């Protein structure tokens, strides 16, 4: 946890609606760190790229950057490979997130990320976001331009909703419309 700032994590599977909640908080004036955006930067850190290439082969690098599609194909649906990737990348991502938190304005910072708990991210509170599987599938297909089968593979590689109920301070269901963020605002 960052001293002098309250850090609140927003986590959940792909397509659960974390970004919608984060955008609502941003519009209210809160500083929100998008862990996925940070991860895109962090994995292209030369030291991180070198570790990834050593583990998964040089073919995951294209034009001096990680080819996320190729790397994703190598790890999704293979839990042991995804675990190895996470062990490599999380240290870089968490360090970069910590830097963003330190530089943030305000006393409360939200961190939006799919695997905050699994990465070891230390937060003052953790909010889980869940949604119906079919809604998640549609959101992922629409957002990422992938097939239903690819979306299902992603979802099956991630935590079940029960994980968030067991590991978060509270859980918000975001099946559409405006989610009730009143519980989140009690934390700030």
pLDDT in tens, 169-186: 999 999 988 878 888 888
CA distance 162 to 181: 20
How much is the pLDDT for 187?
87
3-state secondary structure of 129: strand
Token match 């009730």: residue? Answer: 180
Strands 65-66 and 61-62 come out as antiparallel
Is 134 within the bounds of a domain? yes
Is 72 within the bounds of a domain? yes
Is 114 within the bounds of a domain? yes
The pTM is what? Answer: 0.87
What residues does 111 pair with on adjacent strands? 9, 33
Note whether 8 and 107 are within 8 A (CB): no
Note whether 188 and 108 are within 8 A (CB): yes
Is 66 within the bounds of a domain? yes
Residue 1 has a CB neighbour count (10 Å cut-off) of 10
Sites in the chain below the pLDDT cut of 50: 1-2
Is 148 within the bounds of a domain? yes
Is 1 within the bounds of a domain? no
CATH number for the domain that contains residue 176: 3.40.50.300
Structural domains counted in the chain = 1
CA distance 22 to 182: 13
Is 62 within the bounds of a domain? yes
How much is the pLDDT for 145?
94
Residue 11's domain comprises 6-185
Residue 176 has a CB neighbour count (10 Å cut-off) of 12
How much is the pLDDT for 2?
44
DSSP state of 125: E
């Amino acid at each position: 946890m960052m001293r002098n700032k309250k850090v609140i994590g927003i986590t959940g599977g792909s397509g659960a609606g974390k970004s919608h909640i984060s955008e609502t908080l941003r519009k209210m004036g809160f500083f929100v760190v998008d862990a996925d955006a940070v991860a895109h930067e962090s994995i292209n850190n030369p030291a991180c790229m070198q570790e990834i290439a050593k583990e998964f082969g040089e073919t995951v690098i294209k034009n001096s950057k990680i080819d996320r599609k190729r790397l994703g194909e190598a790890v999704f649906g293979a839990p042991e490979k995804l675990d190895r990737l996470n062990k490599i990348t999380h240290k870089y991502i968490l360090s970069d997130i910590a830097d963003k938190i330190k530089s943030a304005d305000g006393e409360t910072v939200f961190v939006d990320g799919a695997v905050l708990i699994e990465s070891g991210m230390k937060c003052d509170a953790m909010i889980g976001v869940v949604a119906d599987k079919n809604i998640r599938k549609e959101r992922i297909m629409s957002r990422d331009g992938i097939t239903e089968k690819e979306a299902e593979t992603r979802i099956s590689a991630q935590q079940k909703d029960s994980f968030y109920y067991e590991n978060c301070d509270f859980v918000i269901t975001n099946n559409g419309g405006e989610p009730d963020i009143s519980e989140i605002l009690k934390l700030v």
